[in-house]
A and B are shown apart, each in its own frame.
Chain A
Amino acid sequence: MSGLSPVSDGAYDVELRAVTKRFGHLKAVDAVSLKVRKGEFLSLLGPSGCGKTTSLRLVAGFEQPDEGEILIGGTDAVGTPPYRRDVNTVFQQYALFPHMSVLDNVSYGLKQRKVGKSERYARAREALELVRMTGREAQKPTTLSGGQQQRIALARALVMRPRVLLLDEPLGALDLKLRKEMQIELKRIQEQVGITFIYVTHDQGEALSMSDRVAVMANGVIEQIDEPRVIYDRPLTPFVADFIGDMNFLTGEVVEAADGGFAIDAGAGIVVRGRGQAAKGTRMRVGIRPERMVAVAGPPAGTANSAGAEVVTKMYLGDQIQIVAELPGIGSIVVREQRASADPALDSIHPGDRIALSWDESSPLLLGETAPASTAGQQEEQS
């Protein structure tokens, strides 16, 4: 392809180098670079239309990039058809062959490799054991439940012992309880077989709980790629902050900047103090997680990192209490506290009552200079 022969240092199973894919005028994937480490569980997370599935299909070979390089196992895979790539896919709708038995489905790939009948059936049975689906070999896939079909689809891909397993929202069609079960199963299987997983999902809970690393995508680009903990604690962009978990946003001018700390005048008498580099005079956006705030009944202290608010709704989430309150002139804000440690007086507050919010200096996250607040993206339900 290019003049330089692509070289990889061997630590990566898949490498995307400035890969672009267009559909008409739309750039589904926009100059994405990504390195997937050997044996890691990497999630591509983002809202629908962010380019995560297209990225996966580029690795699988179902789509070819318009620009850039794709390396699988250190060699250039651009132009290589799917049937010659050392990757296998688990599809969202399972895509099991309806006219074949479970055993024939699972051994289909080995048959294409001209593996003898007795050996391929033996290996298919092993794969079915791995996904805990023994005893159904002779059945047709349509006689199985969704969760069982997904296990068969997983076995059908795993039996190939691919370098990389690609999973395209594999649990998307399952109900919540089954999804939770399968998340644990997938993680167990991945650790057992040690194959690199690239996992596409729009469910942040799923991505955060299962992955070694998460790549958050929006509009065809990777916004941030890091360990789940860092993605949650240190989101780099307003989009990531908003998409992962819940986030309260405040904006204002930096009125003080010294010694690695800052103070922002968020308006309505609220001053946000936090740690981080911010230039004095700029308008910055900060985010504070709902669980990093403390609410008490009564008027605010009037110091920095505190605010008075009016209760809009109060909800009990089992062990937690969640209050949505209105900051006058700013907007609504969400506070979530453990009930065991929350102010007991919160139990008797009602919509319209005044509460005082406060947070400590380590809570506000600097999210860059303000652009128009259009990062949008429907907030996912936190699971």
Chain B
Amino acid sequence: MAVAEKTPEVAAAPAAARRRRSFKPRYPGWLTAPSLLYYAVFFLGPMAILVAFSLAVQQGFGSLKYGFDTSQYSQVTTSLYLHIFERTLVMAGFGTVLAVAVGYPVAYWMARYLSTYKMLALLLVVVPFWTSFLIRTYALKIILDPHGYLARDLGINILYTKYAVAVGLVYNYLPLFILPVFASLERMDWTLIEAATDLGARPFTAFREITLRLTLPGVVTGALLVFIPMTGEYIIPNILGGGNYEFVGNVIGDQFNQAQNQPFGSALSIGLMAALSVFVIAYILVATKEEQFGA
């Protein structure tokens, strides 16, 4: 409708209209309806159910009485569960830091020093994704098994500890970090490094002040891409932590699957989402800053 109204103007002043047209949406807004419908049904719908669950009261085993009961949230903020939240966030944070420490040098090496084999290296980074997440985690369990060939011979005995969980987190999510960082390093103009060293910057200073600074948006994107799913992790603590090191995800799973306590499980989920929103907002602030210099 808006398009139809503008048409006479376009005919009257073609030059001015052409200039304006490039800033106007090209297609009618209702074309987004299918996507919006999809979001409404499969995102907002479940969210509404989750909120409704979290405010309901459990009546006996498996039946709910819907209402506006906030007692589940008070239970979420008890020290026992706050401790699990803290453990989850610290562990995901630690896993993210490790992913940065391992992933950045790999991405840097690929972007700066590979030419012929660059695409092959990229493929190798992505190849693990062709296998099921579950199978990869079980494979890691075999590798870390103190009675297995590898860990036994190397004298590694970390299975069913938080260290095994950390290894699993980094291993499974590393490609998600490497890809955006590689993309931002690929756009890096390396003559800037020559310019910096030419002006007296030592190699590490040049790296810190130029390369790292210009690829920071990629690092933040990658870090968030691994941090968010890590906090929601459920399989890795289960398989590699052996139940000794539970994440919020495991507690939520238990509430739904074992305890049939949907209200409390839902309240925990919403609590986790609230905690993560802080990081997403921080990301948006950095991402808007990125546009200033388009790196």
Contact = CB atoms under 8 A, between A and B. Distances in A.
Chain B interface, DSSP helix/strand/loop, else mixed: helix
Interface stretch (A108-116, A203-211, A359-367): A108-116
Interface string B250-294: 000000000000000000000000000000000000000000111
Q: Which of B189, B196, B199 has the most CB of A within 10 A?
A: B199
A82 interface: yes
Nearest to A93: B191
B200 interface: yes
Interface string B198-233: 111111010000100110000000000000000000
A108 B192 CA distance: 12
A160 interface: yes
B205 to A, nearest CB: 7
Interface in A146-180: 156-157, 160
Nearest to B195: A95
Contact of B195 (A89, A99, A113, A140): A89
B69 interface: no
Given A95-B189, A95-B195, A142 B205 contact: no
A31 B191 CA distance: 27
Contacts of A113: 200
Contacts of A160: 199-200
A266 to B, nearest CB: 49
Given A113-B200, A142-B293, A97 B205 contact: no
B194 interface: yes
Nearest to A82: B197
B194 A98 contact: no
B200 A91 contact: no
B133 to A, nearest CB: 37
Most buried by B among A89, A97, A160: A97
B213 A108 contact: no
A62 B192 CA distance: 12
B52 interface: no
A83 B198 contact: yes
Contact of A142 (B198, B200, B294): B294
B190 to A, nearest CB: 9
Contacts of B294: 98, 142
| B192, B200, B214, B293: residue with the most chain A Cβ atoms closer than 10 Å | B200
A305 interface: no
Contacts of A157: 198-199
A81 B295 contact: no
Interface in A72-116: 81-83, 87-89, 91, 93, 95-99, 108-109, 112-113
B259 to A, nearest CB: 52
B174 to A, nearest CB: 27
Contact of B200 (A60, A97, A99, A112): A112
B196 A140 contact: no
Contact of A108 (B196, B202, B203): B196
Contact of B194 (A87, A95, A140, A142): A95
A140 B214 CA distance: 14
Interface string A243-273: 0000000000000000000000000000000
A93 B195 CA distance: 11
Contact of B214 (A60, A83, A99): A99
Given A142-B293, A142-B294, A97 B192 contact: yes
Contact of A97 (B198, B203, B210, B292): B210
A109 B199 CA distance: 5
A113 B295 CA distance: 27
Q: Interface size for chain A: under 10, 10 to 19, 20 to 34, or 35 or more residues?
A: 20 to 34
Interface in B169-205: 189, 191-192, 194-203, 205
Contacts of B292: 99, 140
Contacts of B191: 91, 93, 95
Contact of A112 (B205, B293, B295): B205
B207 to A, nearest CB: 13
A99 B199 contact: no
A83 B194 CA distance: 9
Interface string B41-82: 000000000000000000000000000000000000000000
Contacts of B201: 83, 108, 112
Contacts of A156: 195, 199
Contacts of A99: 213-214, 292-293, 295
A97 B199 CA distance: 12
A93 to B, nearest CB: 6
B198 A89 contact: yes
A172 to B, nearest CB: 14
B199 A91 contact: no
A133 B292 CA distance: 22
B192 A95 contact: yes
A89 B194 contact: yes
Contacts of B199: 83, 88, 108-109, 112, 156-157, 160
B295 A82 contact: no
Contacts of A95: 189, 191-192, 194-195
Nearest to B214: A99
A62 B199 CA distance: 12
B197 A98 contact: no
Nearest to B201: A112
A157 B196 CA distance: 11
A80 to B, nearest CB: 12
Contacts of A87: 198
A87 B292 CA distance: 32
A98 B205 contact: no
Q: Which 3 residue pairs spanning A and B have beta carbons closest together?
A: A109-B199, A112-B200, A95-B195
28 contacts: A60-B194, A60-B198, A62-B198, A82-B197, A83-B197, A83-B198, A83-B199, A83-B202, A83-B203, A87-B198, A89-B195, A91-B191, A93-B189, A95-B191, A97-B195, A97-B210, A98-B214, A99-B214, A99-B293, A108-B201, A109-B199, A112-B199, A112-B201, A112-B205, A140-B292, A156-B195, A156-B199, A160-B200
Given A91-B191, A112-B201, 7 more contacts: A60-B194, A82-B197, A83-B200, A89-B194, A93-B191, A96-B195, A140-B293
